[in-house]
Amino acid sequence: MKPISTTKAPLALGHYEQAIVHQGLVFVSGQLPLTLSGDMPEGIEAQTKQALENLKAILKEAGSELNQVLKATIFITDIALWSQANQVYASVFGSHKPARSAVPVQALPKGALIEIEAIASLAPCLT
C-alpha cells in the first residue's frame, strides 16, 4: 500500500491520504472543489470542473489519468444541480464513461456543492 500526495491539488483536510495505490489500483479520496490557494469557485459548473482538476492532478501523481478511472462517486448537495454537473463531467471525461454513482447529501465540508472520489487503474484501460 502506497500513499499518494501532491502539492498540485489541495492537501487533505483531515486524517486521510489524497490517494492510496494498492495492487494496481488508485483509490482517490473525495475531492472538494478547492483551489491550491484554498478558495472555492462559485456555481456548480465551476466547482465540478475544479474537483475534477484536483482528481486529475492526484491521478497523475499516482501514475494514472482520467481515462483510467474505473468508478467515480459524486456527492452533490442539491440533486436539482445534477444536470449541470453531469454536463461538465461528460465534457471532461469525453468518450470515456467509467461506472459512476451520484449521491445526494445534505452538506459537504467548506460549503461545497460537490465532491468527487474515484478508483482508477494504473494500467491503461482497454475499451
Whether 55 is covered by a domain: the verdict is: yes
What's residue 126's pLDDT?
57
Tens digit of pLDDT for each residue in 62-89?
999 999 999 999 999 999 999 999 999 9
Q: Domain containing 75: what range? A: 2-121
pLDDT of residue 123: 77
CATH code of the domain covering residue 60: 3.30.1330.40
Rounded CA separation 87/112 (Å):
18
In this structure, is residue 53 part of a structural domain?
A: yes
- Look at the chain and report how many structural domains it folds into: 1
List all residues 6 or more positions away from 42 whose beta carbon is below 8 Å from its beta carbon: none
From the number of C-beta atoms within 10 Å of its C-beta (0-12, 13-18, 19+), residue 84 rates as middle
**Residue 36 domain flag:** yes
37-71 per-position pLDDT tens digit: 999 999 999 999 999 999 999 999 999 999 999 99
Task: Specify if 51 maps to a domain.
Answer: yes
Asked whether residue 89 is assigned to any structural domain, the reply reads yes
Entry pTM:
0.95
The per-residue pLDDT for 81 is: 98
In a domain, 126, yes or no: no
**pLDDT score of 33:** 98
Q: What is the pLDDT of residue 125?
A: 61
* Residue 127, in any domain of the structure: no
